[in-house]
A and B are shown apart, each in its own frame.
Chain A
Amino acid sequence: MKLNQEIQKLVDGILKKDMRSIAKAVSFVENSDYKTKKPFLQAIFPYTGKAKVIGITGLPGAGKSTITDKLIKAFRDDGKSVGVLAVDPSSPFTKGAILGDRIRMQNHTLDKDVYLRSMASRGALGGLAQTTKDALKVLDASGYDIVIIETVGVGQNEIDIVKIADCVVLTYAPGFGDEIQAMKAGVMEIADIYVVNKADRDFSQKLFKEISDIVNLSSKEPKPKVLKTIATNPYEQSNIGYLKEEIVKYIDYVETSSNLKKKRISFIESELIDTLTKIIIDKTLQNQNVKAFFDKKTIDKIYNKELNFYSIIDKIMEAI
């Protein structure tokens, strides 16, 4: 029963917004398998769903962390508490990671109503860690009004953020390719708001125009806004303030048009499928009847074409 007591302590701690409990809870969901963390997630489930979740995604070096830093300030000026999950990549070779997003956000470290957490992606390829969803639930249950999730620097296809964020902000900076890139499917389609950061640089106006042209053809409702920002410029706080306004407006809009409910229902659907898939795979692979097919002899026979790969799959399915 020791585990239950510890879990109860964590739950009590995060409901009191105790920072160390929140940090321990994030580690707990990050490091535990489904079975271990299920009672905890079950206990906090009733307290989740209140936070507004903002996703910041975009190319490496486009300014995601700096924009996040300025957004924190803008929301704090409104009296909102803010939790941040900043994801950086893990090495596929050593599993190590350098988590450097905090560097841009240090102004907020001593603010008791801001919680910053760096997460390593730990092998996940969709721009988030597999456990980011669960970490979000911890911050949500802790009562943060706003949770900002900063993805790994993305390329063209890392779009997990659309499965958890109420509003996705896609950040660009000039100098990364022509308008054909902007026309492609994938990341370019996921944004609710587009930001051309580093707008003081050459070609930023061109990029702004190209993205605006693409967005004009979009069938998304409401039509995504395209903004220009210079996140590092201390005199340009108004720009990020404007971005914050647009985020708030967007969330208000989807909330009143009941699109937010639709969005969140689709999040639940995809999480149901993801969670079940994982449980079923684990269960299947641990099944003794299935394990029997994984011996070297069988694999060798498949290699030598003595056994047909697809017949083995049929047999495994029968064995379950």
Chain B
Amino acid sequence: MAIRILIAKPGLDGHDRGAKFVARALQERGYEVIYTGIRQTPKQIAIAAVQEDVDFVGLSLLSGAHNELFPKVVEELHNAGVSDIVVFGGGVIPQSDIEFLKSKGIKAIFGPGTSIKTIVDFIENETKSRNSKIG
């Protein structure tokens, strides 16, 4: 079964080189990647994730508003009745913010310099643990 991943950019940040790179690299690893483009509201991202029935949502942000926008996406997913979509994030995010983001339901944060292998390993592990829960 194909794993579907939504790559999204919340807020007003237009720097999408990283998001596009990750999207393209994940395609190379055999995932179906939906990219929704720049300047999306958390609600738009959550609804797109529901409509596309994705397994993961990857958020990219370089503007510094991650502490507001990332948790908001998780909240909007909950509002839409979704609890089984794994949310992860990336971008220029200070080490000191990571714990807070994780406490808000962001499963992992991948900063600058992260290798694609690290992200793929994360996706594979999450998928495995989820399948074992269902199975």
Segment at the A interface, from B29-37, B63-71, B92-100, B102-110? B29-37
What residues on B are CB-neighbors of A90 within 8 Å?
32
Known: A23-B50, A96-B33. 15 other contacts (CB 8 A): A27-B53, A91-B27, A94-B30, A95-B30, A96-B28, A96-B31, A96-B32, A98-B23, A98-B33, A99-B32, A99-B35, A102-B48, A103-B37, A109-B51, A117-B52
Report yes or no: A94 in contact with B40, Cβ–Cβ below 8 A. no
| Cβ contacts under 8 Å, B80 to chain A | 20
Enumerate chain B residues within 8 angstroms of A180, measured Cβ to Cβ. Answer: none
State whether B47 touches A118 (Cβ < 8 A): no
Decide if B51 touches A117 in the complex (CB within 8 Å). yes
Residue of A20, A26, A96, A109 near B44 (CB, 8 A) is: A109
Among B32, B37, B44, B81, chain A packs the most CB atoms within 10 A around the CB of: B32
5 A–B contacts from the bound complex (CB under 8 Å): A94-B29, A109-B51, A110-B44, A115-B51, A116-B48
Which residues of B does A touch, CB under 8 Å? 1-2, 23-24, 26-37, 40, 43-44, 47-48, 50-53, 80-82
Nearest Cβ on chain A to B11's Cβ, whole angstroms:
14
Across the A-B interface, the 7 shortest Cβ-Cβ residue pairs: A96-B27, A103-B37, A23-B53, A94-B30, A96-B30, A99-B34, A27-B53
Contacts of B34 on A, CB cut-off 8 Å?
Answer: 99-100, 102, 118
* With A20-B80, A94-B27, A109-B47 as contacts: A26 and B32 at CB distance below 8 Å: no
Q: Which residues of B contact A96 (CB under 8 A)?
A: 26-33
Beta-carbon contact of B32 and A120 below 8 Å = yes
Chain B residue nearest to A99 (CB atoms) is B34
Task: For residue B3, give the distance in angstroms from its CB to the closest CB of chain A.
Answer: 10
Report how far A23 CA is from B46 CA in the complex, Å. Answer: 13
In-complex Cβ contact of B50 among A20, A94, A100, A103 (8 A): A20
| Given A19-B50, A20-B82, A98-B23: A103 and B35 interface contact (C-beta under 8 Å) | yes
In whole Å, how far is B56's beta carbon from the nearest beta carbon of chain A? 14
Give the residues in chain B near A95, CB-CB below 8 Å.
2, 30
